[in-house]
Amino acid sequence: MTGSATLRAETPQDHSAIRGLLVAAFDRYGEAELVEALRNEGDLVFGGVAAVNGVIVGYAALSRMNAPFPALGLGPVAVAAAYRGKGIANALLHWSLARAQEDRWRAIFVLGDSAFYGRFGFRPELAAGFGTPYAGPHFMALALNGALPAKEGTVDYAPAFGRLGA
């Protein structure tokens, strides 16, 4: 359970703390630099934070995807080590998905663990018809506000993702 965690959209004052969280969670700078590039290039639609006593302990980024309909890419998602297993990621993802739905996005794509993301409704079969460099069993989609407007086409993450790990 999240207890006293506050869920909200990131603000510019959070950027340094988000960077620190991402570096610690992934034990490298790539994901922090990815989020900064998404912000700088105008592709970060919103970032959700979970804060406990004013300290950011969780983060989820949602960025614009190139797709045949309005779609977001989810990731990176991170929770501070001391707060893992306490429901922070679940609460943060539910908050983020609800916000995307309220904002009238049609789908969210994610590349990740199907056992985890499947709990939120992400399905590899929904993404299977789309051509993408990330195709495979870990590339999943979640339809928002009805069924997906298309079941095939080309989808890709924002350009900054292509530079991750480069």
Residue-by-residue pLDDT tens, the chain, 166 positions: 445 899 999 999 999 999 999 999 999 999 999 999 999 999 999 999 999 999 999 999 999 999 999 999 999 999 999 999 999 999 999 999 999 999 999 999 999 999 999 999 999 999 999 999 999 999 999 999 889 999 999 999 999 998 886 5
For the segment 30-58, what is each residue's pLDDT rounded down to a tens digit? 999 999 999 999 999 999 999 999 999 99
Q: What pLDDT does residue 2 have?
A: 47
Whether residue 76 has a cis bond before it, omega within 30° of 0: yes
Q: pTM of the predicted model, to two decimals?
A: 0.94
Q: What pLDDT does residue 13 have?
A: 97
Q: What pLDDT does residue 34 have?
A: 97
Place of tokens 């789908």: 107
The tokens for 16 are 């340094």
CA proximity to 158, closest of 70, 37, 68, 60? 37
Q: With contact defined as beta carbons under 8 Å apart, do 61 and 14 qualify?
A: no
Q: What pLDDT does residue 4 have?
A: 80
Q: Specify burial of residue 101 (Cβ count, 10 A radius: 0-12, 13-18, 19+).
A: middle
Q: What pLDDT does residue 163 have?
A: 85
**What residue segments make up the domains of the chain, in order of their start?**
6-154
The CATH number of the structural domain formed by 6-154 is: 3.40.630.30
The tokens for 135 are 């195709």
For residue 152, CA distances in Å to 66, 67, 68, 148 come to: 13, 10, 9, 10
Distance CA 67, CA 71 (A): 6
Q: What percent of the chain has pLDDT over 70?
A: 97
Q: What pLDDT does residue 101 have?
A: 96
Q: What pLDDT does residue 3 have?
A: 58
Distance CA 16, CA 146 (A): 37
H/E run at residue 108: strand 107-111
Place of tokens 């302990």: 57
H/E run at residue 90: helix 88-102
Q: What pLDDT does residue 165 have?
A: 65
> What angle is formed at CA 159 by the lines to CA 156 and CA 137, rounded to 5 degrees?
35
